[in-house]
Structure 1
């Protein structure tokens, strides 16, 4: 197997993940606002809602509009999650709760780096392979990567919310490769989603690797 010029990665579920579960985080912060709900119930509701939601991408949006659009996209998911769990009406001030929740996920506190990641990134950096990220995430990824001390490894970060297209669309892979002036045949992509990562990268001509956590 020839050494690639560039290795691109998915972010959440590949490089780092939520400590415990999304439901546990949602439940703990809801409790701060006087709302009691089982973490498992919230976790299932979140994943059900997330699967049904359109991708986090805003074609044609102006750069200055994107932060508000990201915020509203996630707030809709949070509302639907708590509605499915049957406790949405228990909040006296849901916007205040969501503002706290959204800000918390911009910090490193709810996240953990998988144990195989740092040795791998160090090895590839030592071998002078360019590294980048392609993620269906929002602009908070920059503060999360900073907080986890991961940003130093990556020469590029390409996110769906700012480039107007989401994985598995091949265009997001092309946009990322342009930053490295790299052809698809010279690049690998590592991710944990069969559809978004493996099949998306393969369709774009990259060598895909499916990571099964």
Structure 2
């Protein structure tokens, strides 16, 4: 299943589980889905916390190599660029592009390689929002 097909099903289920009748939803669903899907590709659909930019700037100035690893679809790099955050990262790895999801070791190995120099696992730091991944 493509990422777009997965999102299409998720959005449809969200509406129907919220009480929208399928016969009403189906009339304009393609247009509605396209609007929602594209909306979350735009930078202004997200909020950057006030401490993020100064933190990234300081880490970059100190010479840290930084990347993004996410269990996200192939739009991740575009979203990061639309948020004007791309300049802070040396690489962006979306699980959809890599073919495995966190916590699979392969995505972390790929990140170490993408860092562009010999970075040992014990020298790397992963900051995330989920202890399992």
Q: Where does residue 130 of structure 2 map in the other structure?
A: 193
Q: Where does residue 49 of structure 1 map in the other structure?
A: none
The residue matched to 2:47 in structure 1 has which SS?
strand
Q: Where does residue 112 of structure 1 map in the other structure?
A: 47
Q: CA RMSD in A?
A: 1.4
After the TM superposition, which parts of structure 1 deviate over 3 Å for at least 4 consecutive aligned residues?
A: none
| Structure 1 position 88, deviation (Å) | 4.6
Pick 1 or 2: higher relative contact order, CA cutoff 8 A, min separation 6. Answer: 1
Do residues 183 (structure 1) and 116 (structure 2) align?
A: no
| Structure 1 position 152, deviation (Å) | 0.3
The structure with more strand, counted as a fraction of residues: 1
| Structure 1 position 191, deviation (Å) | 0.8
Question: Gaps (5+ residues) in structure 1?
Answer: 1-57, 59-68, 197-213
**Contact in 2 for aligned 1:136/1:161 (Cα 8 Å):** yes
Cα distance change, pair 102–111 in 1 and its aligned pair in 2 (3 A): same
Q: Where does residue 51 of structure 1 map in the other structure?
A: none
TM-score by length of 2: 0.90
Do residues 141 (structure 1) and 76 (structure 2) align?
A: yes
TM-score by length of 1: 0.58
| Structure 1 position 178, deviation (Å) | 1.2
